[in-house]
């Protein structure tokens, strides 16, 4: 029996859906970092075609935390992306992971795809989730 979905899980699933939908209106489904590189440091949210939501939403904050996380510990960020299928195609492409299906992959499958033991995968996932909570709580206190 699966554990009930927590508030954090709901936020991370919303972030994953936002990533899948083109990063809140950024377009092609690339990461925000890839978009920044492609557009030489300039990204404009919204525009004449209408906005897909506020540019400062919780999903954008989570993506920012994950990007910072990736700069320090790419495995931790990749575990989070695969766990929630949030930009997992980028992880698979960068790591040259073939035949990965996020719809059917178990945690063990995800761990193996990343070349990690299941225990290490679970530990990195817990650390990534803890980092997200800490950073969101710090932002809320501002």
Residue 106, Ramachandran bin (φ over 0: left; ψ between -120 and 50: alpha; else beta) = beta
The predicted model scores a pTM of 0.75
Residue 105 placed within a domain:
yes
pLDDT in tens, 15-37: 999 998 754 444 444 555 665 56
Residue whose C-alpha is closest to residue 20's, from 84, 70, 69, 98: 84
Average pLDDT for 81-98: 95
Q: What total number of domains does the chain contain? A: 1
Q: Can you give the residue range of the structural domain that contains 91?
A: 7-41+55-141
Mean pLDDT for all residues in the chain = 83
Residue 46 placed within a domain:
no
Q: Looking at the predicted structure, is the pLDDT value of residue 85 above 90?
A: yes
């Amino acid at each position: 029996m699966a554990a009930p979905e927590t508030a954090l899980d709901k936020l991370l699933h919303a972030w994953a859906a936002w990533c899948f939908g083109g990063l809140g209106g950024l377009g092609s489904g690339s990461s925000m970092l890839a978009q920044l590189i492609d557009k030489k440091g300039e990204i404009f949210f919204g525009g004449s075609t209408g906005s897909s939501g506020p540019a400062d939403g919780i999903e954008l904050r989570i993506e920012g935390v994950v990007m910072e996380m990736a700069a320090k510990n790419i495995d931790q960020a990749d575990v989070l992306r695969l766990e929630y299928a949030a930009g997992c195609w980028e992880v698979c492409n960068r790591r040259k992971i073939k035949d990965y299906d996020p719809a059917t992959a178990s945690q063990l499958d995800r761990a193996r795809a990343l070349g990690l033991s299941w225990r290490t995968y679970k530990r990195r996932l817990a650390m990534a989730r803890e980092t997200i909570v800490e950073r969101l709580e710090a932002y809320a206190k501002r």
